[in-house]
Structure 1
Amino acid sequence: MSFLSVEFALCFVLFFALYWSVRPFPRLQNGLLLIASYGILASFSWYAAAAIAGYTLFTYVMSLLIWRQASKRWLIFAMLAAVINLAVFKYFDFFRSSVQSVLTGLGLDVLLPGMEILIPLGISFYTFHSVSYLVDLYKNKLQPVSLPTYALYLAFFPSVVAGPINRAQHLLPQILPDQPRNLEQSARAYVLILLGIAKVYWLSAFLADTWANPVFANPLEYNSLDVLLGLYAYALQLFLNFSGYTDLVTGVALLLGFKLPVNFNAPYLANNLRDFWQRWHISLSTWIRDYIYIPLGGNRDGFTRTQINLMLAMLISGLWHGASYNFILWGAIHGFGVVLLNVADQYFGRNALTNKLPLLAGFITVQYVCFAWIFFRSPTWEGSLEFLTALGSNLQIPLQFNAPWYLAGFFILWRLYPLLAKLPNGLTCLLQRTPWVVQPILVVLIAWGLITLAPAGIPGFIYANF
């Protein structure tokens, strides 16, 4: 059941009424949320619901052992089990084919067994949620919770499909409130839902269908400027799709009395790669910082070791996104860029270019990020090379998209970005001035208009694949 479907909207309206009718009883609300979360997972696949249920039971038992025995060995065992579970479902075929290629290259006639494994929906996100809980439990940053509470923490439907990544210390207190929940930010929730629909259903889908998908499907058939247009279109499509999904589920969570973590902060306004990763997929970048980069040593062991830790963290970030060399290369490109930035800081002073020429620094950052998106979007290494070839040597092919004008439009849009980033707050203030009874009617009418004007079909959420 897609979050953009009419079926979900109707079910949510009914659930919303039932949920708030039992407001004096938060535990009953939690029970309804747990049932709804597993119901939504099961609507995609019973297999997905069964997978998270089994994982929940196993990691909950591990959490009790970690808490009662205060033993690091149980934490290590639980972390290994979580990694193995993720690796088997997401990376088995990737590693099997890689090892098979190495054995074949060495002339060894060994055939490794293959398995058809269906990746459970949301496995990356609920795995990260569990790691946060287990590590914080071991560090005595929180108290153990009941199995139903832990199950809801992992399966909470607004964020289980494609994030944002929740921290145990942030979400668990909201699951176990000291008093009944309140619906405090309904106007902001409505605005976020409308923006999410507009971004995903309309803008992102338009960019994909018009430029990004055709160009990435056959880059050698297009002029270099058309290829560049397709790349910029994908960069904007990805942002609109993912941030739109985040807006949508953040709005849904607010209507249930929950606050999800901020996941985006105008990332294409970044003046360097460090700044970009403080603005893009914030819940992932901070998770990797706290649970991978810092445990590796962070910046505690000198400059060189810090750069190695950064590169390892970015490689892991790339691998997390998918089982392919292209994703690993994407992570390496970002890791190399951050390391190069840190080296430049040593010689020229921290953020020297950003401080002296912020517009140029921002422009270079966007170009670098877009260059890396080539490997993120292309399904194969060969596809990436074709795209780069077309980008660099296809100027003789006739233009198909009137690219120069649209490229100028993208530049103007980038310069207007600071104003557009203020749009949610402005729309929220505007909606708050209308009577609360009128607000949902107005939202439904606008949503209907957005969906009517959108391209045909229900677009998918790109990050649900990760």
Structure 2
Amino acid sequence: MSYLSIEFAAIFVAFFLIYWIFRSRVAIQNLILLISSYLIVGLFNINFALILGSYSVILYLLSTGIVYSLRPKLWLIISVVAAIGNLAVFKYFNFFAPQLQHQFAEWGIELSLPVAEIILPIGISFYTFHSMSYLVSIYERAIDKRNSELTKENWRGMEPVSFFDFALFLSFFPSIIAGPINRAKSFLPQLQNPKPREVLEPHRAFMLIILAVIKVYWLSSFFSQAFVKPVFDNPTEYHTVELILAIYAYAIEIYLNFSGYTDLVTGIALLLGFKLPINFNAPYLATSLKEFWTRWHISLSTWIRDYIYFPLGGNRKGFSRTQINVMIGMVLSGLWHGETLNFLIWGALHGIGVVLLNIKDQFKERRLLHRGLSKGRVRDIMRREVTGWRKYLGRFITFNYVGIGWLFFRSETFDDSMAYITSLFHNYGNIAENLEPLGILAGLIVVIFAIYPLLTKLPEIFINLTKKIPFVLLPLLFVAILWGVIYLAPSGIPQFIYASF
């Protein structure tokens, strides 16, 4: 059931009323959340709920070894291997099964693997990441407890939680489908707080929900149907201008779709009394690829930084090792999105881009040091914000580099990507016959590089305006806006792109 459907809206209103009837009973509210989360997962496929439940039981039992055994690191390794192994089986088994069958056949062993029977459970990537943050957090707690004399208040880890809270942490319905990725240290205390909850920032919550409907239901669907899907389905039939337009349009589509989903679930969480982590911060304002990853899918990029990049050594083992760690993190990010060659290329492109930027920065730093500047002065120069024409040039280069990556991300197969690129360089016929797409492309460029910075300020302006409107009139305003969006939007309920990851 889509979170944008009328059915979900009706059920959520009933759920919302029941949930807040028990405002003074946090434990009952949590029970309602847990049951509702499993029902939502089960509506996609009852097996998905059973898999999530089984996973929660096994991981929780393994986590107790971290807390109570004399070898917490061993139990951490076992738990992480179990979590990653579960994800690998469901996400990558169908990719490797044919190769395994072929290899065993060469060895004279007939092996029939159930390739078609393994279906990717909804939300598995996200609840795997949630569980791993919990495992690492209680491991840190266990180590601190054994190796220090610090008081309870000063331990930097967290106490193990009940199975009930752990199960709800993994299944919390606003963020299980497509994130954002919650950290155990920040989200579990919200679940465990015994004080009565309250709706958080209601004006912001409703603004986020309306913004989500505008982004996903209307604009993202429009760009997909008008410019993206027709071209990517048959790129050889389109002019170079139309192919470039489709890449730009997909960059906008995936941003609107994914950030719109984040807006929606963040608004829902606020209505339930919870805060989710920020996942987007105007990513197409980035002037470099490194800055882009501090603005795009922030909960994933920081998770990779903290749980992959830093454990590999981060930047503490020399410049060359740092670049290897960057590449590993980015490639794994690509493989997390999917098992195909295209996602590997997408991750590698971002890794190569960041490495090249690091090399450029190192040369610039050395050049400044050779000029006799102090290390402190050089550090200040390197951190200086890009301004003037360099800012716009940086944004233009970054957006187009990211767009090249989106080409591989959107294409179904590597052959499809190559067909698209080949058409891009060969279908440059009579430009006079493609003035309309050229005009649309020019309009998108103006929106992205001139108007987009202004658009990022609209949500706060809208929130401040709604605060001045009598509260009883706000529902009429929201209904009017939603009706207008539904009227303008293409037919059909759009799917969340990241729900498939």
TM-score range, shorter chain: over 0.9
Q: Does 1:114 align with 2:130?
A: no
1:135-154 aligned at under 5 Å gives the runs 135-140=136-141, 141-154=157-170
1:94 maps to amino acid: F
Cα distance in 2, alignment partners of residues 211 and 432 from structure 1: 37
- What is the rounded CA distance, in whole Å, between the counterparts of 2:446 and 2:110 in structure 1? 55
Q: Please report how far the alpha carbon of residue 404 of structure 1 lies from its aligned counterpart in structure 2 after TM superposition.
A: 1.2
- Name the structure 2 match of 1:246: 262
C-alpha displacement of 1:445: 2.9
Contact kept, 8 Å, 1:272 with 1:354, in 2: the verdict is no
1:43 matched to 2:59? The reply is no
CA drift of 1:403 comes to 1.5
Structure 1: unaligned runs, 5 residues or longer: none
Contact 2:221–2:253 (CA under 8 A) maintained in structure 1:
yes
Q: Paired residue for 2:413?
A: 380
Q: Which moved more, 1:118-127 or 1:435-444?
A: 435-444
Match of 2:24, SS state, is coil
CA distance in 1 between partners of 2:226 and 2:243 (Å)? 12
Bigger mean CA offset, 295-304 vs 354-363: 354-363
State which drifts further: 174-183 or 93-102: 93-102
Q: Which has the larger radius of gyration?
A: 2
Deviation at 1:362, TM superposition (A): 1.1
Distance 1:127 1:244 in 2: 23
Residue in 1 that maps onto 2:93: 92
Q: Structure 2, unaligned stretches of length 5 or more? A: 142-156, 366-381
Query: What is the deviation of 1:119?
Result: 0.8
Q: Which amino acid aligns with 2:36?
A: A
TM-score (norm 1): 0.96
* 1:448 shift after superposition: 2.4
Alignment partners' CA distance in 2, 1:434 and 1:146: 44
Instruction: Give the structure 1 partner of residue 300 of structure 2.
Output: 284
Q: Kindly, what percent of the aligned residue pairs are identical?
A: 51
1:164 aligned to 161, 180, 199, which one?
180
Q: Name which of structure 1's ranges 389-398 and 356-365 shifts more when overlaid on structure 2.
A: 389-398
Aligned: 1:370 with 2:371 = no
**Of 439, 444, 447, which aligns to 1:413?**
447
Cα distance in structure 1, aligned partners of 2:102 and 2:249: 35
Following superposition, the deviation at residue 358 of structure 1 comes to 1.5
1:353 to 1:27, Cα distance in 2 relative to 1, 3 A: closer
1:133 partner letter: Y
2:37 counterpart of 1:4: no
The structure 2 residue matched to 1:454, chosen from 489, 493, 497, is: 489
Deviation of the 1:114 alpha carbon: 2.8
Alpha-carbon distance between aligned partners in 2 of 1:408 and 1:462, rounded to the nearest angstrom? 26
- Paired letter, 1:50: L
SS of 1:145 mapped into structure 2: coil
- Is residue 54 of structure 2 the alignment partner of residue 17 of structure 1? no
Q: Quote how far apart the aligned CAs of 1:431 are.
A: 1.1
Q: What is the CA distance between 1:63 and its match in structure 2?
A: 1.3
What is the rounded CA distance, in whole Å, between the counterparts of 2:280 and 2:414 in structure 1?
Answer: 29
Residue deviations 1:9-58 (CA, integer Å, cap 9, x gap): 00111111111111011111101111111111111111111111000001
Question: Which of 315, 339, 343 pairs up with 2:355?
Answer: 339
Q: 2: CA distance between counterparts of 1:47 and 1:261?
A: 29
What displacement does 1:131 show?
Answer: 0.2
Map of 1:64-463 to 2, 5 A cutoff?
64-69=64-69, 71-98=72-99, 113-115=112-114, 116=116, 117-140=118-141, 141-349=157-365, 350=382, 354=386, 357-396=390-429, 399=433, 402-414=436-448, 415-463=450-498
In structure 2, the CA distance between the partners of 1:325 and 1:98, relative to structure 1 (3 Å rule), is farther
Contact 2:231 2:246 in 1 (8 A): yes
Q: Which residue number corresponds to residue 57 of structure 1?
A: 57
- Output the CA distance in 1 between the equivalents of 2:425 and 2:104: 36
Structure 1 441/26 Cα, relative in aligned 2: closer, same or farther at 3 Å? farther
Give the TM-score of the pair, scaled to structure 2. 0.89
Contact 1:194–1:443, Cα closer than 8 Å, also in 2? yes
* Counterpart amino acid of residue 124 in structure 1: S
Q: Deviations over 1:44-102 (max 9, x none)?
A: 11111111100000111111111111511111001001111000000012123455677
Letter in 1 for 2:445: F
Partners of 2:386 and 2:413 lie apart in 1 by: 34
Instruction: Tell whether 2:62 aligns with 1:29.
Output: no
Report Cα offsets for 1:252-299 as digits up to 9, x if no partner.
111001111000000011000100000000000000000111111111
User: Secondary structure at the residue paired with 2:159?
Assistant: coil
My pick for the range that moved more, 253-262 or 351-360, is: 351-360
Contact 2:101-2:112 at 8 Å conserved across structures = no
Counterpart-to-counterpart distance in 1, 2:430 and 2:66: 63
Distance between the aligned counterparts of 2:394 and 2:385, measured in 1? 6
Paired with 1:101 and 1:128, the residues of 2 have a C-alpha distance of 32
Measure, in 1, the Cα distance between the counterparts of 2:311 and 2:263: 31
Instruction: Give aligned pairs, total.
Output: 464
CA contact (8 A) 1:164 1:283 kept: yes
- The Cα of 1:177 is off from its aligned counterpart by 1.4
Deviations 1:110-148 (A, max 9, x none): 665332201110000000000000111100111111111
Cα 1:112–1:297, aligned 2, differ >3 Å: closer, same or farther?
A: farther
Secondary structure, counterpart of 1:296 in structure 2: coil
Any idea what the Cα deviations from partners look like across 1:199-258, whole Å, max 9, x if unmatched? 000000000000100110011100000000011111100000000000011101110011
CA distance in 2 between counterparts of 1:397 and 1:112 reads 55
Mapped contact 1:122–1:464 kept (Cα < 8 A): yes
Equivalents in 1 of 2:385, 2:108: separation in Å? 55
Separation in structure 2 between the aligned mates of residue 60 and residue 110 of structure 1, nearest angstrom: 38
Instruction: Quote the Cα distance in structure 2 between the aligned partners of 1:203 and 1:385.
Output: 28
